[in-house]
Amino acid sequence: MNPQEIVEYLIQEEEKEDEEIDILAATWAQLNRTRNNNIVRHGESVFNHRVINRNRTVGHQLIYRDYFSDDPTYPDYIFRRRFRMRRSLFIRIQAAIESHNPYFVQKCNAAGVPGLSSLQKITAALRMIAYGVPADSLDDYIQIGESTAIESLRKFVISINEIFGEQYLRSPNKIDIKRLSKVAEQRGFPGMLGSIDCMHWRWKNCPTSWHGAFSGSLNDINVLDRSNLFSEWTEGRAPEVNYILNGHEYDMGYYLANGIYPAYSTFVKTISAPQGNKRKHFAKMQESVRKDVERAFGVLQARFAIVRGIGSFLGHRNAEIYYVGMYNYA
């Protein structure tokens, strides 16, 4: 063979090898796809995930023995301190949630092993709301995994909002406005519907890549712009409040606020550096009444620690978590 024929022969052999490699790669990929399709997965289980065999029955029995039996280990005042409510209210909430959301109804798995009870799921949710503790800290006593505890919290606050929101989280009706107006008039502010204030919380573990990504800060004005508190007012659907002040008739209520809020007709702000006895007296009375909302919110934070650090539960329906606290506080 001459040199030219040798070169052509080598080129042909190399092309044949490339074709064989392509065929082998395609066959290997097809085998992998077939094998993956034949793998049986149960629900949302993760392949090769390590399963911890928790004794859920013991967890339920511990909670029942300690707080709900005929002769519980802990008396009523400890129950109220740890659950932030009376036992009768807890049982009412438990029954309502079980009827509303089947997630909280105890079920058995394919092997007949009972799953978590509603006592365990609701207790885990309330412990996180009351104490602001991580979900993982509940595992050793309640026998509930971290992801399940977070899911229980999410479904709990959604269910509370759906069940009791219409009754306890609604806008004030005519009866409420009449009652509020009567109390406000006795305190020297006829037509007042309440006070307004905002709370600031710090996100301790904010991702570094998000630092400086938002202009400004969430002060009271920015929070007010993002709130739906005055959506009805701006749409002309504000509750009607009739009262007489200094000989003038008014048909719209107002809220007490501090000096940082904008000059809306629905805000009655204090007087900074008041001059004269009359203005000093007004500023003193306005600030005294406005302290009510700060004291009330201070009690709310003390009772439900999650409100102080709600940023750690971003993505878990923060508004509903706050509403749960308001419902139990009321």
Nearest CA-CA partner of 146 in 138, 154, 158: 138
Q: Compute how many other C-beta atoms are within 10 angstroms of the C-beta atom of residue 164.
A: 17
Is residue 261 within 8 Å of residue 196, measured between CB atoms? Answer: yes
Q: Report helix, strand or coil for 3.
A: helix
**pTM for this entry:** 0.69
Instruction: Please give the average per-residue pLDDT across 1-30, as a whole number.
Output: 62
Find the range with the poorest average confidence among 31-35, 218-222, 244-248.
218-222
- pLDDT digits over 133-187, tens only? 888 888 889 999 888 998 999 999 899 989 988 888 777 788 888 888 888 888 8
Is residue 136 within 8 Å of residue 153, measured between CB atoms? Answer: no
C-alpha distances out from residue 271 to 265, 275, 295, Å: 15, 9, 21
Amino acid, res. 59:
G
Note the pLDDT of residue 7: 45
Reply yes or no on whether the pLDDT at 295 is more than 80.
yes
Distance of CA 225 to the CA centre of its chain: 20
How does the average pLDDT of the chain come out, rounded?
A: 78
Note the pLDDT of residue 98: 94
Instruction: Please give the average per-residue pLDDT across 247-273, as a whole number.
Output: 83
Reply yes or no on whether the pLDDT at 243 is more than 70.
yes
What is the H or E stretch that residue 248 is in? Answer: strand 248-252
Q: What is the DSSP string of 156-214?
A: HHHHHHHHHHHHHSSPP-HHHHHHHHHHHHHTT-TTEEEE--------TT--GGGTT-S
- pLDDT digits over 164-179, tens only? 888 887 777 888 888 8
Is residue 149 within 8 Å of residue 159, measured between CB atoms? Answer: no
More confident residue, 274 or 29: 274
